[in-house]
């Protein structure tokens, strides 16, 4: 198979694998009431799954981020979260600062 055909098939496979979870979620939602315990449970699982993904992204990153040291990533994260809290939950400041701060630190 040509490489461009493989890429197109990979895009289709990736999109289907992703849309299944979304669509199943939309179908399940029709049967779940906001006031039910099941909804509360799904809410907790959603937040913890997301937190698990973020924890993994910082501790065991994939791609270019793995070229930086763990301690540097943690310093950047803690600093930026502090900025977020101190700036009364401004998200633009810490996110811009994170990129600049990390680029500076890895060149020290």
Q: Does residue 65 bind other proteins (CB under 8 A)? A: yes
Site for other proteins in 80-99 (CB under 8 A): 80-81, 84-85, 89-92, 94-96, 98-99
Determine which residue in the list 2, 30, 71, 108 makes contact with other proteins, applying CB under 8 A: 30
Q: Does residue 103 bind other proteins (CB under 8 A)? A: yes
Contact 82, 69 (CB under 8 A): no
**Closer residue to other proteins in complex, CB, 71/92:** 92
Determine which residue in the list 2, 33, 71, 108 makes contact with other proteins, applying CB under 8 A: 33
Cα 31 from Cα 78, distance rounded (Å): 40
CB of 71 to other proteins, least distance (A): 13
Contact 72, 106 (CB under 8 A): yes
**From the centroid of its chain, how far is CA 27?**
24
Q: Does residue 100 bind other proteins (CB under 8 A)? A: yes
Supply the angle between the helices 70-86 and 37-59 in degrees, to the nearest 10.
130
Place of tokens 């698990």: 52
Site for other proteins in 4-23 (CB under 8 A): 4, 6-23
């Amino acid at each position: 198979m040509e490489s461009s055909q493989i890429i197109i098939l990979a895009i289709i496979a990736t999109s289907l694998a992703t849309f299944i979870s979304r669509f199943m979620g939309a179908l399940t939602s029709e049967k779940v009431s906001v006031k039910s315990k099941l909804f509360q449970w799904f809410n907790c699982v959603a937040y913890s799954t997301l937190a698990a993904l973020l924890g993994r992204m910082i501790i065991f990153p994939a791609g270019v981020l793995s070229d930086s040291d763990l301690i540097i990533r943690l310093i950047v994260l803690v600093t930026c979260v502090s900025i977020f809290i101190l700036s009364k939950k401004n998200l633009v400041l810490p996110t811009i600062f994170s990129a600049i701060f990390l680029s500076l630190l890895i060149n020290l």
